Amino acid sequence: MSSSTNASEKLPLTFGVEVEHIFGINKDLVCSNPEYHWLFPQSCTIDANSPNPPDFDPTLKENSGLLQAVKILRSTGAILKPIVDETTLESDEPPRWSIIPDESVVTPNPTVVPMAEQNDEEHGSDMFSGWTMTRDGSVKFPKNAEQLRWPGWEFVGLELISPILKVPEFGSDHFQLNGLVDVQRYLGFMNHPRPEGTPYFFLSSPETAGVHVHIGLQPQPDRQTEIPVDFIRHLALICLAFEDTITLLHHPQRRSYTGSYSRNHIGTNRFVGRMTHTNPRHHCEKGPKFSPEDAFLRIFLASDIEELADLLTTVPLEDDEYGYMVRQCYVNFCNCFGFEFGDEGKRTIEFRQHHGTFNSEDITHWVVFLTALARTAERKANEKPQADAPLPPSLLKHLALWRDSQPGTTRGPFSVIDAPTDELWQDILSDKPPGTLTRVVGEASKYRDLFQIDKRRSLRELFDLLDLPLECRRYWWERAKRYRVEWAAHWRGKNTCRLYGGPGSCNLEDVRDCEGWADGELDVPPWDVDAVGANGDGDAPARAGRSPPLAESSRLANQRSDVDVTDADPLTTTNGAELPSSSSSSSRPNVMSIAAILNRPDVMSIAAILNHPESSLP
């Protein structure tokens, strides 16, 4: 694995998205209406132009919903392949769908893209070279129709997976969506308008699913491209230091609160690789305070890729050994070290915190944000340390603290993940091994704004570090304010502490180390108000990152199947063009379209049922 990035040219960054969702289909309506007989599982194939293997049974529960969803999306123009176990044999399971004569199967509307045009060769042998879909067991959906009082309906959790795509490029005078154009097109397929009474639907919402984004490098023809170690170091530091700030940008369902959908799927990265006892893990005042200085020290003292991997992907076991790799974090670093899929597997860093949605604006802005984050890590890795740079204040304070604690101690036979914090700081003071102090001071000098005594991080500081364009800052600021209202109304008082079988329960709120969580702390826009005004209508300085409006590129692809219920005034871009609404509709399930499917306006939404299942009972 390369240790550094090349400062002479940008890394060939790529991204991929995974959109989790529910697919629902009404078996009774499909069977009774000849117009929808083309959706019988036995008429659904893995490949668009080939029959299924002889021993493959498309009517089995693990196959039918996936194949039906893929066939529906193909009928709207999507080139898509399901990921299934093609060796699935026929079983003794009773048929779930009645067999019908072949002559009664009708084809979809002839105006859609013919199946013959969906060339499977575009997918290749690599599942990441084309759009695919697979089952996803983490998606939350009703276990049976009775739970919703929806007779005849069946549900399955699915995941739409993109191919490897080129990240967007943007600056002060340009904006290129690149691979986001393809993402927006496929989100358009998911949001394809369907007439009232259609016996199927697709749904992705904060209460049921998530969106994962992978960042990596363009693969070589014969192998994956390793992510530079120094890039990973800087990206990890920024993610850890600003974790509470980034969490402000996400729906409360994606913050790992007790009772949230995401509780068992994502969580903080700050306990990964830490020496503190992990049973329980308190994020409230009972737990240890997170120290960005200590995290910085461990990350940049890791001597090789193995130590860095241990630091970012494992947690302590009860016997004080480090052997449990964890990927259910806000940021999953396991893939970039090749642990999950070996030498042939993808080399990516996976960002798992975004809520489930088909909203083009939401996903576009998240990919742009992550691209800015990755470019910042690349820039910091290439940045030359300042000559004779002084140590930032908070790091200087830590050195002074440990200098007076146990002078003369030397580190024992520990790795960077095992060594007590005081011994690591003693190594710095003693310059062991030689050159360590100079290297650490040089890397720390790149983050002088971060390492300040008693300074709380903020959206403004994060956006400045990322050189985020002004339009993007507006979007994230409005979104953070909206989700803070959601949090205050429904989630205040809940925490993310994990007791793991410990006695009692924890009712204390999380301790946050950034601005934005207390009342009034999101009132000030996260940009230079003196230069561009509170509405961003002045001349933007370079730090505000003005760029052409992102909204103009994504407007047509952003067709929603849910209902906008906001009363807020529309946002505007820096040139006065109206942005697609960043209202609460981006985080709400498409409840109206579901009601239309059933022609029952009194029906409860899936999200409401999943949050309060007792309310669905007669």
Which range of 347-351, 394-398, 402-406, 416-420 scores highest in mean pLDDT? It is: 347-351
Domain range for 429 is 393-447
Task: Sort 321 into a burial class: Cβ within 10 Å, 0-12 / 13-18 / 19+.
Answer: exposed
Residue 378 within any structural domain of the chain = no
Strands 81-82 and 132-135, by their bridges, are parallel
pLDDT of residue 304: 81
Q: Which residues pair with 331 in a beta bridge?
A: 351
Which residues contact residue 351 at a Cβ distance below 8 angstroms, ignoring those fewer than 6 apart? 212, 213, 214, 215, 330, 331, 332, 366, 370
Phi, psi of 503 (to 5 degrees): -70, 140
Residue 253 or 432, more confident: 253
Residue 227 or 615, more confident: 227
C-alpha distances out from residue 201 to 182, 192, 382, Å: 22, 10, 48
- The arithmetic mean of pLDDT across residues 568-576, rounded, is 32
Which range of 36-50, 486-500, 536-550, 560-574 scores highest in mean pLDDT? It is: 36-50
pLDDT of residue 6: 56
Q: With 80 as the cut, is the pLDDT of residue 578 above it?
A: no
Angle, vertex CA 362, rays to CA 166 and CA 236, nearest 5? 60
Calpha distance 180→185 (Å, rounded):
8
Q: With 70 as the cut, is the pLDDT of residue 532 above it?
A: yes
- Pseudo-torsion of CA 498, 504, 505, 511, nearest 10°? -70
- The arithmetic mean of pLDDT across residues 276-286, rounded, is 72
- Nearest Cα neighbor of 496 from 504, 505, 488 is 505
Residue 368 within any structural domain of the chain = no
pLDDT of residue 318: 55
What is the Cβ-side half-sphere exposure of residue 499, based on CA atoms within 13 angstroms? 10
Calpha distance 341→335 (Å, rounded):
8
Q: With 80 as the cut, is the pLDDT of residue 115 above it?
A: no
Picking from 62-71, 116-125, 331-340, 494-503, which range would have the lowest pLDDT averaged per residue? Answer: 116-125
- The arithmetic mean of pLDDT across residues 433-455, rounded, is 88
- Across 139-248, where does the E strand assignment appear? 153-161, 165-166, 169-170, 175-176, 200-203, 210-217
Residue 107 or 507, more confident: 507
Determine what percent of the chain is predicted with pLDDT higher than 70: 70
Q: With 60 as the cut, is the pLDDT of residue 201 above it?
A: yes
Which range of 174-183, 269-278, 407-416 scores highest in mean pLDDT? It is: 174-183
Calpha distance 311→273 (Å, rounded):
4
Per-residue 3-state assignment (H helix, E strand, C coil) for 553-607: HHCCCCCCCCCCCCCCCCCECCCCCECCCCCHHHHCCCHHHHHHHHCCCCCCCHH
Calpha distance 469→121 (Å, rounded):
39
In the chain the first and final C-alpha atoms are separated, in Å, by: 60
Task: Sort 503 into a burial class: Cβ within 10 Å, 0-12 / 13-18 / 19+.
Answer: exposed
Residue 407 within any structural domain of the chain = yes
- Give the rounded distance of the alpha carbon of 171 from its chain centre: 24
Count other Cβ atoms within 10 Å, centred on residue 572: 17
Helix (H) or strand (E) holding 233: helix 229-241
Q: Which residues pair with 322 in a beta bridge?
A: 316
- The arithmetic mean of pLDDT across residues 558-569, rounded, is 32
Picking from 4-13, 101-110, 358-367, 504-513, which range would have the lowest pLDDT averaged per residue? Answer: 101-110
Which range of 475-479, 491-495, 604-608 scores highest in mean pLDDT? It is: 475-479
Q: With 70 as the cut, is the pLDDT of residue 159 above it?
A: yes
Determine what percent of the chain is predicted with pLDDT higher than 90: 44
Residue 408 within any structural domain of the chain = yes
- The arithmetic mean of pLDDT across residues 132-138, rounded, is 94
Q: With 80 as the cut, is the pLDDT of residue 500 above it?
A: no
Count other Cβ atoms within 10 Å, centred on residue 425: 21
pLDDT of residue 612: 44
Residue 483 or 440, more confident: 483
Angle, vertex CA 444, rays to CA 438 and CA 446, nearest 5? 115
Domain count within the chain: 1
Residue 416 within any structural domain of the chain = yes
Q: With 70 as the cut, is the pLDDT of residue 504 above it?
A: no
Q: With 90 as the cut, is the pLDDT of residue 481 above it?
A: yes
pLDDT of residue 439: 86
- The arithmetic mean of pLDDT across residues 288-300, rounded, is 90
Calpha distance 241→293 (Å, rounded):
9
Count other Cβ atoms within 10 Å, centred on residue 524: 14
pLDDT of residue 529: 86
Tokens encoding 480? 């953070």
- Nearest Cα neighbor of 333 from 217, 212, 210, 236 is 236
Calpha distance 227→3 (Å, rounded):
9
Helices (H), 383-435: 393-403, 421-430
Q: With 70 as the cut, is the pLDDT of residue 30 above it?
A: yes
Residue 402 within any structural domain of the chain = yes
pLDDT of residue 117: 35
Residue 125 within any structural domain of the chain = no
Residue 582 within any structural domain of the chain = no
C-alpha distances out from residue 618 to 146, 148, 149, 395, Å: 10, 10, 9, 62
- Pseudo-torsion of CA 401, 405, 408, 409, nearest 10°? -100
Q: With 60 as the cut, is the pLDDT of residue 292 above it?
A: yes
Question: From the CA atom positions of the chain, what is the Rg in Å?
Answer: 26
Calpha distance 181→174 (Å, rounded):
16
Each residue's pLDDT tens digit, 62-100: 999 999 999 999 999 999 999 987 555 454 555 455 444
What is the Cβ-side half-sphere exposure of residue 223, based on CA atoms within 13 angstroms? 7
**Summary mean pLDDT of the chain:** 77
Q: With 60 as the cut, is the pLDDT of residue 317 above it?
A: no
Q: With 80 as the cut, is the pLDDT of residue 197 above it?
A: yes
Tokens encoding 348? 């990516």
